[in-house]
Chain A
Amino acid sequence: MGNVIEVTQLGKDYATAAGAFVALKSVNLTIAQGEFVAIMGPSGSGKSTFMNLLGCLDYPSRGEYKLDGENVSLLSSDALAALRNRVIGFVFQGFNLLPRLNARDNVALPMLYRGAGSGERKQHADEMLAKVGLAGLGERRPNQLSGGQQQRVAIARALANSPQLILADEPTGNLDSHTSDEVMGLFTELNHSGITVVLVTHESDIAKYAKRLVRFKDGEMIYDGKPEEGL
């Protein structure tokens, strides 16, 4: 199987009042199709910066990042938007659902930007909701759903355009441990179906679900291996 993510000597600086701040020094990482990777590290370790780069939300200052074989640095912001839309599904800590839209329309949003017709959007969104165990709840607004259900809607949205990669940033940060287990079970299931999952967490219990652990500290990767040994 090919590599979804190929990162070579990737670095990121931020300009601050005190001068350039190096958030990420030089990272080399390859993630193959079908892997389940957890990224850990204290705050300020560069893991969020790394996730933003992986998610094509930001351009690297140095190095090269190939997502699905495409060199991200060479793409325009509109081309990046199209790449995100097609290849990546995002799951955020705060769910980040649009409060005005019901669950179905939230799930359908990525399809809207892909240019899918309204019939296809509705049907596929309902399928995705059923897949995450929320069949029949399409008409509910986010504020009518529990935290776990909201995160499931967010996962259904991430799956809408059949992405190769799911990037989850602290997906269980706002959930209790029981619901966290359910959500992680869902990620595991998706991973078994062939989708690459990369998630950021600071909870060891959550990281255990992954098959590979990457640790960051002070802008550098300090561990890359099996979760059991790195925790």
Chain B
Amino acid sequence: MNAFAMLTESWRAIIANRMRSFLTMLGMIIGVAAVVLMLAVGQGAQSAIDETISSMGSNLFIVLSGATTSGGQRMGLGTAPTLTMNDAAALAELPNITAAAPVQPGTAATVYAGNNWSTSITGITPDYLQVRNWVVASGFAFTDADVRGAARVALVGKTVADNLFGDENPVGKTMRIKQSPFTVVGVLEAKGQSLDGRDQDDVVLVPVTTAQRKLFGSQFPGSVRFIMVQANSAEAMPGVEKEMNTLLRSRHRIAEDADADFSVRNLSAMAEASASATRIMSYVLGAIASISLIVGGIGIMNIMLVSVTERTREIGIRIAIGARHRDILLQFLLEAVTISLIGCLIGVGLGIGGAWAVQKFAGFPVLVTPDITLLAFSVAAGVGIFFGFYPARRAALMNPIDALRYQ
């Protein structure tokens, strides 16, 4: 008996019991739609996280200066001026380090024409852009020469550009930061939110030297709040962390058993943790949805068992006139698989439609990949075979004499 003829036989049986077949399918439809939708939401969340992480930069350390104590109150990391530009230069010389960017942040009001906007002003070197994976969308980045000369130049983030300059092109314009005029040399590409929800584009970047000397005057010239360090690979990070600690302790002349006046944090590890939390969430969603697939499979098994019993006589006739075990087994198995595949097809359609609706109306990021669809399909076929096999086997092993006598 050829495959096509067998499919026709199975299809006839499905059509003969339309309502029942549809209700059986419904279990699969709901299950597959749930799996596709949940995985789409999970993948969407994950790709959003991945994007945020790559906007932060990869293989990153942040070296914070130590805490000050003022009148018994400890002021928190980054308040003591223990890190310097020279520390950054020394760190950059270590092996496996791509760049070490000293950063001196502050907050100030900016003014252009009639607009004013209070934002964070970050003093950096050009290395910072590389470390953060940040691209200048229009204009140019300032150079190391601008840093040496403490030039009054600025790169503005997208949010600042929008609020201060409106429709104008900021490049070449003069803005005021703390009353002093700065020339805008470039606009940064939008990065969106950071992991903790801050707007990364609400920033003005200026040369670190300019920030130190001309904006946020300090009694400790050359000190920086923190240094961002990029290792050249994820594998090198533990070694790099150790070497940085050793180097800085010796530069700061800290005794073996004393507390360091700085602290090194692995940013990528934190990001990785939040990415894996998202991954786990998407697995959990998928797992919960798969339960409904299993329930759908049991529905198929249930109906197939009823159907086999109901058609005992038919099975008897088929065996008597020459159907082999294999013919009967395949006939009923194909019936189960056809039901589950059609259910799966409709379910995938509903799932994709649902994902689209979630994105459109709930504003959730979703992502439907071919993998998800393929996975849902193979799972559905598997469910059909798994739950269809027992009833089909029962049909194939029937005794023709008893089956023919069955009323």
Taking beta carbons and an 8 Å cutoff, which residues of A are in contact with B?
52, 55, 57-58, 77-78, 81-82, 84-86, 90, 92, 96, 98, 100-101, 109-110, 112-115, 118, 157, 161
Q: How far is the CA of A100 from the CA of B12 in the complex (A)?
A: 8
**Pairwise interchain contact B314-A98, C-beta atoms closer than 8 A:** yes
B33 beta carbon closer than 8 Å to chain A = no
Among A52, A58, A90, A100, the residue within 8 A (CB) of B13 is: A100
CB neighbours of B401 from chain A (8 A): 52, 57-58
Which secondary structure dominates chain B's binding surface?
A: helix
**Pairwise interchain contact A96-B322, C-beta atoms closer than 8 A:** no
Among A55, A84, A101, the residue within 8 A (CB) of B12 is: A101
CB neighbours of A96 from chain B (8 A): 313, 316-317, 404
**Pairwise interchain contact B325-A78, C-beta atoms closer than 8 A:** yes
Which residue of chain B lies nearest to A96 when distances are taken between CB atoms in the complex? Answer: B317
CB neighbours of A90 from chain B (8 A): 320-321
**Pairwise interchain contact A84-B317, C-beta atoms closer than 8 A:** no
**Pairwise interchain contact B324-A113, C-beta atoms closer than 8 A:** yes
Chain B 303-324: CB-based contact to A (< 8 A → 1; otherwise 0): 0000000000110111111111
**Pairwise interchain contact A110-B13, C-beta atoms closer than 8 A:** no
Among A77, A100, A101, A110, the residue within 8 A (CB) of B321 is: A110
Which residue of chain A lies nearest to B6 when distances are taken between CB atoms in the complex? Answer: A112
**Pairwise interchain contact A109-B320, C-beta atoms closer than 8 A:** no
**Pairwise interchain contact B5-A112, C-beta atoms closer than 8 A:** yes
**Pairwise interchain contact A85-B321, C-beta atoms closer than 8 A:** yes
We find that the number of chain B residues with CB closer than 8 angstroms to chain A is: 25
Q: How far is the CA of A98 from the CA of B317 in the complex (A)?
A: 8
Which secondary structure dominates chain A's binding surface?
A: helix
Which residue of chain A lies nearest to B4 when distances are taken between CB atoms in the complex? Answer: A118
Nearest-neighbour CB distance to chain A for B375, whole angstroms, equals 35
Assess A113 versus B321: contact at CB under 8 Å? Given A100-B12, A118-B5.
yes
Q: How far is the CA of A96 from the CA of B321 in the complex (A)?
A: 11
Which residue of chain B lies nearest to A81 when distances are taken between CB atoms in the complex? Answer: B324
Among B1, B319, B404, the residue within 8 A (CB) of A92 is: B404
Assess A78 versus B324: contact at CB under 8 Å? Given A57-B401, A100-B13, A101-B12.
yes
Assess A113 versus B327: contact at CB under 8 Å? Given A57-B401, A82-B322.
yes
**Pairwise interchain contact B323-A81, C-beta atoms closer than 8 A:** yes
**Pairwise interchain contact B318-A109, C-beta atoms closer than 8 A:** yes
Nearest-neighbour CB distance to chain A for B314, whole angstroms, equals 6
Which residue of chain B lies nearest to A58 when distances are taken between CB atoms in the complex? Answer: B401
CB neighbours of A110 from chain B (8 A): 321-322
Which residue of chain B lies nearest to A158 when distances are taken between CB atoms in the complex? Answer: B321
**Pairwise interchain contact A113-B322, C-beta atoms closer than 8 A:** yes
B2 beta carbon closer than 8 Å to chain A = yes
B173 beta carbon closer than 8 Å to chain A = no
Which residue of chain B lies nearest to A89 when distances are taken between CB atoms in the complex? Answer: B321
Nearest-neighbour CB distance to chain B for A169, whole angstroms, equals 9
Q: How far is the CA of A115 from the CA of B16 in the complex (A)?
A: 24
Which residue of chain A lies nearest to B319 when distances are taken between CB atoms in the complex? Answer: A81
CB neighbours of B316 from chain A (8 A): 96
**Pairwise interchain contact A113-B13, C-beta atoms closer than 8 A:** no
CB neighbours of B318 from chain A (8 A): 109, 113
- Among B2, B5, B320, chain A packs the most CB atoms within 10 A around the CB of B320
Q: How far is the CA of A78 from the CA of B1 in the complex (A)?
A: 13
